[in-house]
Amino acid sequence: MTFGSPRVIVAGAVLLFVLGIAPSSAAQPAPAEPQPLSLDDLAALDALLEEDEAESAALLDAGAAVDVAALGLFFALAVYSFVRKDDRLKVASLVLAVAYLGFVKASLVSVVDIFGAMRGTLPAWTDGQAYYLLIGFTLATTVLWGRLYCGRICAFGALTQLMDRVVPARLRVEPPAWLDRRLVYLKYAVLAGAVLYVLGGGDILVYRYIEPFWMFTLSGDAVMWTLLAMLLLATVFVRNLYCRYLCAVGAGLGLLSNLTVFRIKRWRECDTCKLCEKTCEWGAIDGPKILVSECVRCDDCERLYADEDRCPHWLIQKRAAARAARG
Ligand code: SF4
Ligand code: SF4
Ligand code: SF4
């Protein structure tokens, strides 16, 4: 609404009139006595207020529609990059996740959503279409493919994956396998502890100290910023540290991943080949086995699986074909 619109001028005039400071002219030295509002004046005011409310509701609807459309486009890019196994598109979707879902919308699946579901305090549908799209997409893709949300959509996970691409490999410290296998259970303990704490009447604000997603709103206190700085510093050395060992949401999605329908395929040669296991940055491959609860469908091993110049399965096939051709 602009300040020069007729409705504003009418409303201003009525307001001035009510306050007894109606515009005066030089021909009228004495100000007029304020008059009580007539029923017609009140009806006109009511109509103006109703029009303003309708205008605000329309603006909100338009904003929600833009949010849903933008989120839908982002999901389409993420799924397309996943289906195509295209690394450049994956990086584009990670950057968008940090910039758009992180810093612009601060929209991440959080342990608060689990608390909300437990307490029945999730947003109303009319106020939260984009929210339900995010939750629905996360649950549906987890059942279909696994933790795709973690691998492409979550702004914090995207940030640590992008960090991983720029931090020199020589700084990396890889926990030994025996330790890694035990540390992954920490996140389930965090999830269980948080749920029990809230079920026992604890304050849901505990989320600020067990997950760093608030960082995208840039609104933490000194303790929170200090903990975040320590976490990001540790992530420089141990990649995806928070996601692998501490994230309650990751734990919840990991549990759900046990229902995954379309799993990563394996060759017979995977029984002895360690190439994919060494490539996986999430500690999600144990010998021939993919640990579905740890896998975030990052594609790294799947690109190897299809790589005819590197994967032993294809190399063996090529050698056999060459031998057959030589007779
Ligand atoms: S494990 Fe947690 S922080 Fe990491 S990507 Fe998944 S939801 Fe995000
Ligand atoms: S490189 Fe090929 S054979 Fe080796 S683990 Fe990966 S998919 Fe299996
Ligand atoms: S490398 Fe493979 S197993 Fe490891 S997280 Fe990525 S997709 Fe999952």
pLDDT tens per residue, range 222-231 = 999 999 999 9
**How far lies 156's CA from each of 54, 103, 231, 283, in Å?**
38, 10, 12, 18
Tens-binned pLDDT, residue by residue, of the chain (327 aa)? 333 444 444 444 434 433 333 333 333 445 556 666 677 777 777 777 777 776 766 666 778 889 999 999 999 999 999 999 999 999 999 999 999 999 999 999 999 999 888 888 888 888 889 999 999 999 999 999 999 999 999 999 999 999 999 999 899 998 998 999 999 999 999 999 999 998 898 888 888 889 999 999 998 899 999 999 999 999 999 999 999 999 999 999 999 999 999 999 999 999 999 999 999 999 999 989 999 999 999 999 999 999 999 999 999 999 999 888 887
What's the confidence (pLDDT) of residue 276?
96
**How far lies 232's CA from each of 45, 227, 237, in Å?**
56, 9, 9
Closest ligand to 253 CA? 1
Sign of CA dihedral 148, 149, 151, 153: positive
Residue 123 gets which letter from DSSP?
P
Task: Please name the helix (run of DSSP H) or strand (run of DSSP E) that holds residue 290, with its range, or none.
Answer: strand 289-290
* pLDDT tens, residue by residue, 165-210: 999 989 999 899 899 999 999 999 999 999 999 889 888 888 888 9
The answer, yes or no, to whether any atom of ligand 2 lies below 6 A from the CB of 276, is: yes
What's the confidence (pLDDT) of residue 43?
75
Please tell me the residue having the least CA distance from ligand 2 atom 2. 311
Structure tokens given for 80 = 């397309």
**How far lies 129's CA from each of 7, 70, 237, 308, 327, in Å?**
32, 12, 39, 44, 65
Say which amino acid occupies 149.
Y
Instruction: Check if the beta carbon of residue 300 is closer than 8 Å to that of residue 281.
Output: yes
Structure tokens given for 282 = 């999430």
The answer, yes or no, to whether any atom of ligand 1 lies below 6 A from the CB of 156, is: yes
The answer, yes or no, to whether any atom of ligand 1 lies below 6 A from the CB of 94, is: no
**How far lies 41's CA from each of 31, 34, 35, 37, 111, in Å?**
20, 14, 11, 6, 52
Please tell me the residue having the least CA distance from ligand 2 atom 7. 305
Distance CA 77, CA 92 (A): 9
Best residue among 266, 278, 298, 314 to mutate for probing ligand 2, ranked by most atoms within 8 Å of CB:
266
Pocket of ligand 3 (CB under 6 A): 279-280, 282, 284-285, 290, 295-302
Instruction: Check if the beta carbon of residue 156 is closer than 8 Å to that of residue 213.
Output: yes
Distance CA 121, CA 226 (A): 31
Quote the ligand 2 centre to 270 CA distance (angstroms): 5
Quote the ligand 3 centre to 148 CA distance (angstroms): 11
Quote the ligand 1 centre to 25 CA distance (angstroms): 68
Quote the ligand 3 centre to 216 CA distance (angstroms): 26
Sign of CA dihedral 296, 90, 288, 145: positive
The answer, yes or no, to whether any atom of ligand 2 lies below 6 A from the CB of 275, is: yes
What's the confidence (pLDDT) of residue 308?
94
Domain ranges in the chain are: 73-260, 263-327
Alpha-carbon torsion angle 192, 194, 200, 204, nearest 10: -150
**How far lies 326's CA from each of 27, 85, 101, 309, in Å?**
114, 35, 57, 21
Structure tokens given for 175 = 């926990």
What's the confidence (pLDDT) of residue 75?
97
Please tell me the residue having the least CA distance from ligand 3 atom 6. 298
What's the confidence (pLDDT) of residue 189?
97
**How far lies 160's CA from each of 166, 201, 234, in Å?**
10, 33, 11
Quote the ligand 2 centre to 320 CA distance (angstroms): 17
Structure tokens given for 264 = 């990563």
What's the confidence (pLDDT) of residue 57?
63
Please tell me the residue having the least CA distance from ligand 3 atom 1. 280
The answer, yes or no, to whether any atom of ligand 1 lies below 6 A from the CB of 213, is: no
Distance CA 232, CA 241 (A): 9
Distance CA 243, CA 17 (A): 63
Quote the ligand 1 centre to 292 CA distance (angstroms): 15
Quote the ligand 2 centre to 82 CA distance (angstroms): 19
Quote the ligand 1 centre to 213 CA distance (angstroms): 9
* Residue among 252, 259, 245, 135 nearest 195 (CA): 252
Quote the ligand 1 centre to 164 CA distance (angstroms): 15
Tokens 């996943």 -> residue: 82
What's the confidence (pLDDT) of residue 208?
86
Distance CA 100, CA 78 (A): 13
